[in-house]
């Protein structure tokens, strides 16, 4: 099935297909994302900001909203938002952190906004069986991560899979990487 996350008609078609074929949805991993390097915050263009937020935040919110009725039908729904350590305000504010020099405003701010969505949705769904978390996959060898990244794709998928398969006593509203909690 074609699913361009920024397309309202594609999102609706996906929800209709899942409803018809399965009647529910157990796991939603919001993994689509783009990153444009904009090394000078004061010069980032409106176009870069709008395109980055359209994919990394607004489409995630819209797709989640579209699929939430199906997740509510699951015995244990899981929502995993693929974020980035670059969305951590705490680490960006610390000049000694390993990401202190990684300032790409549009991408980083979009992942910070995605983390805020995770916190807010987890709070809203706290009395349900649905768990919502953010995952930092790590720096992975992908088109965006490049061959310079130290992690292979299977290792990069580990955190997302762990959060997707949480038991009923697992966390909700957190930010994780390889079993460790990351600061917001």
Q: Which residues are catalytic?
A: 107, 111
Q: Is the dihedral of CA 76, 121, 86, 141 positive or negative?
A: positive
CB-based contacts of 83: which residues, under 8 Å, 6+ apart?
111, 114, 115, 118, 134, 135, 136, 175
How buried is 127 (Cβ within 10 angstroms: 0-12 exposed, 13-18 middle, 19+ buried)?
Answer: exposed
Assess contact for 82 and 98: CB atoms under 8 A.
Answer: no
Assess contact for 121 and 64: CB atoms under 8 A.
Answer: yes
Cross-sheet strand order for the sheet of 78-82: 27-30, 78-82, 131-135, 175-177, 180-181
């Amino acid at each position: 099935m074609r699913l361009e996350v920024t397309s309202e008609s594609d999102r609706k078609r996906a929800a209709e297909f899942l409803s018809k074929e399965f009647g529910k949805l157990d796991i939603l991993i919001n993994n689509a994302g783009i990153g444009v390097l904009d090394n000078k915050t004061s010069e980032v263009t409106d176009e870069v900001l709008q395109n980055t937020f359209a994919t990394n935040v607004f489409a995630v919110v819209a797709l989640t909203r579209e699929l939430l009725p199906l997740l509510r039908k699951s015995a244990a729904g899981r929502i995993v938002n693929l974020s980035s350590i670059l969305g951590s305000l705490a680490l960006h504010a610390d000049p000694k952190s390993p990401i202190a020099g990684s300032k790409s405003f549009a991408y980083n701010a979009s992942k910070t906004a995605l983390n805020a969505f995770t916190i807010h949705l987890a709070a809203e769904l706290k009395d349900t069986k649905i768990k919502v978390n953010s995952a930092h996959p790590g720096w992975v060898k992908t088109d965006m991560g490049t061959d310079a990244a130290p992690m292979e794709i299977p290792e990069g998928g580990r955190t997302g899979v762990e959060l997707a398969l949480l038991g009923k006593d697992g966390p909700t509203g957190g930010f994780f990487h390889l079993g460790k909690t990351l600061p917001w």
